[in-house]
């Protein structure tokens, strides 16, 4: 039997609304059928939730019928238990397709597409996607020579940009978990504490959650470089001990029902140098200016411009991207890969959009991160989902 409505993270009507938005986008781009392999979009469309994205799987979206979940035979049992569709909409390919030289799962998918009458139709595929390989595309083209393939990169992702009230409720729960994680870090970090021991506590707080709101594994592992290593934004941890006289930034995210609320704070053990205090002041001013600019009707680029102008007044040069759209996600990324907070992005902000406002400073031999997960409101400046002071945390 399909997942009961009590087990689904959202109502069936919520999934129907998402499907209708996706179909409208398909129609606008001239697609007869859409194949979605991004696990975040698979979950958003159908409710599917499982650690199976290391093999080929996906959702077929039709213009006039319920979606089909398609994947490895053993994972079909998980689809039956997590998808809202009836059991006959779960289709499986046998295990001899897995990591085999003589077979490829796309051969099986092509059979299904032909059987449903779409072998010579316009098929949307996500060409720029972690989970849809070049080999998959080539095999699918070879198996369906009469089809026309249309690049559907980001098509479903863009439908996810404005969050429903049900989604925002999950993100607020994730934010409470983020607060708990940061509070635990501040309480436990001391000179002499091993990094891996602190990360173990981070995971414990993340998974235990807050009250009855249990946590899940985040799409990105905790990032916590120290001292000169903090010039590199994506270092994880090792067995070294924290030392007095160094700053460590912590980039973490609480996760609830796959919805994320990324949150970063920097902790200095001892007395911070003056240049870091000056950078903190400029960064906080820039964040507050960016929040003020993050209003419906403004551009995504206006948020970046407000931040960078404040930093430039303090003599700090930073460009590029300072944030991105967030929501439901699976590894290796908790961003939605659509809207970027950078000066060139002309996307008009709408109520219900959510972003990780991420103006990290990564200098030659030090780094500082103070970030917020934000919600574009109906009016006024953006709301920060986490409620903690924006500051360099100093622990003597």
**Average pLDDT rounded to a whole number, residues 185-191:** 98
pLDDT of residue 3: 63
pLDDT of residue 319: 84
pLDDT of residue 6: 61
pLDDT at 388 over 90: yes
pLDDT at 4 over 90: no
Q: How far apart are CA 32 and CA 75, in angstroms?
A: 27
pLDDT at 1 over 60: no
Query: To 10 degrees, the CA torsion angle through 62, 110, 36, 133?
Result: -160
Whether the Cβ atoms of residue 321 and residue 335 lie closer than 8 Å to each other: no
pLDDT tens for each residue of 231-251: 999 999 999 999 999 999 999
What is the residue whose two structure tokens read 């995210």? 253
pLDDT tens for each residue of 103-122: 999 999 999 999 999 999 99
**Average pLDDT rounded to a whole number, residues 303-331:** 96
Pick 12-159's CATH classification: 3.40.47.10, 1.20.1250.20, 3.40.350.10, 1.10.10.10: 3.40.350.10
Average pLDDT, the chain: 97
**Average pLDDT rounded to a whole number, residues 59-81:** 97
Q: According to CATH, where is 3.40.350.10 located in the chain?
A: 12-159
Q: According to CATH, where is 3.90.230.10 located in the chain?
A: 165-395
Three-class DSSP category at 188: helix
Of all residues in the chain, the percent with pLDDT exceeding 70 is 98
pLDDT tens for each residue of 215-234: 999 999 999 999 999 999 99
pLDDT of residue 5: 61
Phi, psi values for residue 79, rounded to 5°: -65, -40
pLDDT at 95 over 60: yes
Structural tokens at position 341: 């907070």
Three-class DSSP category at 334: coil
**Average pLDDT rounded to a whole number, residues 53-61:** 98
pLDDT at 328 over 60: yes
Pick 165-395's CATH classification: 3.90.230.10, 3.40.50.300, 1.20.140.10, 1.20.59.20: 3.90.230.10
Name every residue whose Cβ is closer than 8 Å to that of residue 54 and which is 6 or more positions away in sequence.
Answer: none
pLDDT of residue 7: 84
Q: Specify the pTM.
A: 0.96
């Amino acid at each position: 039997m399909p997942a009961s409505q009590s087990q689904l993270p959202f109502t069936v009507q919520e999934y129907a609304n998402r499907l209708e938005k996706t179909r409208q986008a398909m129609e606008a781009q001239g697609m007869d059928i859409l194949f979605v392999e991004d696990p975040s979009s698979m979950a958003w469309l159908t409710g599917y939730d499982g650690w199976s994205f290391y093999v080929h799987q996906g959702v077929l979206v039709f213009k006039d019928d319920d979606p089909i979940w398609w994947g490895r035979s053993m994972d079909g049992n998980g689809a039956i238990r997590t998808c809202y569709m009836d059991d006959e909409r779960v289709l499986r390919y046998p295990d001899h397709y897995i990591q085999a030289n003589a077979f490829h799962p796309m051969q099986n998918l092509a059979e299904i597409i032909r059987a449903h009458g779409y072998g010579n139709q316009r098929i949307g595929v996500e060409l720029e996607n972690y989970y849809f390989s070049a080999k998959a595309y080539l095999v699918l083209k070879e198996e369906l020579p009469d089809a026309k393939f249309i690049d559907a990169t980001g098509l479903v992702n863009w439908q996810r940009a404005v969050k429903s009230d049900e989604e925002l409720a999950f993100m607020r729960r994730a934010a409470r978990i983020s607060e708990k994680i940061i509070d635990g870090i501040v309480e436990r970090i001391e000179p002499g504490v091993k990094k891996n021991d602190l990360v173990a506590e981070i995971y414990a707080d993340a998974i235990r959650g807050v009250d009855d709101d249990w946590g899940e594994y985040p799409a990105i592992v905790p990032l916590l470089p120290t001292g000169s290593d903090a010039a590199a934004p994506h270092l994880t941890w090792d067995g070294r001990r924290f030392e007095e006289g160094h700053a460590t930034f912590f980039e973490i995210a609480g996760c609830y029902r796959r919805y994320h609320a990324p949150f970063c704070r920097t902790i200095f053990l001892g007395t911070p140098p003056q240049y870091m205090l000056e950078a903190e002041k400029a960064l906080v001013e820039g964040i507050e200016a960016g929040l003020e600019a993050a209003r419906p009707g403004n551009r995504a680029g206006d948020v970046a411009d407000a931040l960078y102008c404040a930093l430039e007044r303090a003599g700090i040069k930073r460009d590029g991207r300072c944030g991105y759209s967030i929501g439901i996600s699976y590894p290796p990324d908790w961003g939605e890969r659509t809207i970027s907070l950078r000066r060139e992005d002309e996307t008009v902000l709408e109520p219900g959009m959510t972003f990780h406002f991420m103006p990290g400073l990564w200098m030659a031999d030090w780094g500082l991160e103070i970030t917020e997960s934000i919600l574009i409101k109906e009016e006024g400046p953006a709301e920060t989902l986490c409620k903690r002071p924006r500051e360099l945390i100093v622990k003597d």
